Amino acid sequence: MTFEYVPDGSLDTHSNLSTFESTQILRQLLSALRYLHGLRPPVGHRDIKPENILVAHRGDDGILVKFADFGLSKASDTLKTFCGTLLWAAPEIYLKIPTLTATADETYSVTVDLWSLGQVVASLECGLPKYKEAWKKDAVAWVRAIREHVSDYEQYYQDQGTELLYFLLDNMLVEDPEERSSADYCHNEALRLSNCDSRIPFLQRIKDTRRRESTPSDTESSDDDDGKHSKISDTAVR
């Protein structure tokens, strides 16, 4: 048995990814999910997270990534097992935590992969909220905290190009799995994304713009705005 050598480690060891790179990662991994979910029966990865995404190449021409660790993957139309990594798990997985026995027979589908990938890409763009231990028993609060965090960035910084964040919120970071878009649809739409070619990280663009706009004369008059911005910035973690 032979394995492909992927030289640049896992995605969690890379930092300061640009929007251009985040979009490439989204498109490449959606292409993989489109294939996996299109099999009969469909194959769900079920543990998508930065540690399970390998970087084959990263340079001036962009980034090339691949999924790794299919240990929890399964080919089935309906899935039941509580598995994966909680920080990146879809809401329907998360909701099994308080009553694993009671929810043992409740099923979910391969669309859990769409949530997890959407969360990974969102984390590359704007970080994630600081995780609270209490959220282990309150899945709804964690899920909504993620959406609120990403939505805040998408709304407050549209001048910095937030089409990617809007796409994730509208198609992948959708609480109801029945309303979440399929891998096939997401891949097609991701290929159509525009204004996502900045080679500067999203958060860096925000900092650079605020630095240029900040002057002594407008410091006092922008207290309310600064309150919003600092609230967002303080919760963004990677």
The answer to whether the beta carbons of residues 166 and 156 sit under 8 Å apart is no
Catalytic residue among 8, 12, 47, 218: 47
CA distance 41 to 96: 24
Distances from the Cα of 70 to the Cα of 41, 48, 66, 74, 93, angstroms: 16, 9, 12, 8, 17
Residue 113 annotated as catalytic: no
The identity of residue 181, as a single letter, is: S
Sign (positive or negative) of CA dihedral 151, 155, 159, 164: positive
Distances from the Cα of 55 to the Cα of 11, 86, 154, 198, angstroms: 6, 23, 27, 20
- What the block records as the tokens of 109 is 């589908």
| Residue 150, CB-side half-sphere exposure with 13 Å CA sphere | 26
CA distance 79 to 177: 13
Catalytic residues: 47
